[in-house]
């Protein structure tokens, strides 16, 4: 009887501990200007997928990355050309806000049509990844840098 009770207690602890495990960055991450932003939420508001890092204790790693599609989020996998504005269904644009909106805003420059992002749709959730996408500062035009990212819709 003692062995049965002990075995049930051990099994209960295993079940409870497995339920408490969480994915460290459920919405992915992005790296911009040597800073990695770990996504805490990645939500859609129609045609945009916005990854947010809300680590308010460190404002240098607090920001958003938004991928804007032409009209709605895609429902199938595909490759999209990056532009400064999504002018057609085959294009996307990106925007980064650093330091919680009090820092700088950067927009994708378009990369002369040579930059693309990959989209994967699984179980109704959209994932977008891109590498070396050129982002330009909206105010200081000489300030530009590339972003690498892999974000997944969490909501």
| CA-closest candidate to residue 32, choices 110, 105, 82 | 105
Map out the domains of the chain as residue ranges.
Answer: 26-152
| CA-closest candidate to residue 28, choices 118, 100, 88 | 118
Q: Is the dihedral angle over the CA atoms 143, 86, 148, 117 positive or is it negative? A: negative
Q: Which helix (H) or strand (E) holds 29?
A: strand 28-32
Does the global pTM surpass 0.75? yes
φ, ψ (nearest 5 deg) of residue 145: -160, 165
What string of DSSP letters covers 33-64? TTEEEE-SEEEESSSEEEEEE--TT-GGG-EE
Gyration radius of the chain over CA positions = 20
Full pLDDT tens readout for the chain, 155 residues: 444 333 333 333 333 233 333 455 678 999 998 888 888 889 998 899 999 887 555 555 578 999 999 999 999 999 999 999 888 999 999 999 887 556 789 999 987 789 999 999 999 999 999 999 999 998 888 899 999 999 999 98
């Amino acid at each position: 009887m003692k062995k049965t009770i002990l075995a049930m207690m051990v099994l209960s602890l295993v079940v409870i501990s497995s339920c408490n495990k969480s994915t460290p960055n459920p919405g992915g991450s992005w790296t911009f200007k040597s800073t990695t932003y770990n996504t805490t939420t990645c939500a859609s508001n129609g045609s945009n997928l916005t990854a947010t890092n809300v680590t308010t204790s460190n404002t240098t790693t607090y920001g958003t990355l938004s991928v804007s599609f032409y009209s709605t989020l895609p429902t199938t996998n595909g490759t999209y050309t990056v532009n400064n504005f999504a002018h057609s269904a085959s294009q996307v644009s990106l925007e980064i806000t650093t330091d919680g909106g009090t820092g700088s805003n950067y927009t994708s420059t378009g990369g002369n049509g040579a930059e693309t992002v990959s989209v994967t749709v699984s179980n109704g959730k959209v994932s977008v990844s891109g590498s070396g996408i050129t982002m330009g500062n909206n105010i200081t035009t000489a300030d530009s840098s590339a972003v690498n990212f892999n974000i997944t819709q969490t909501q």
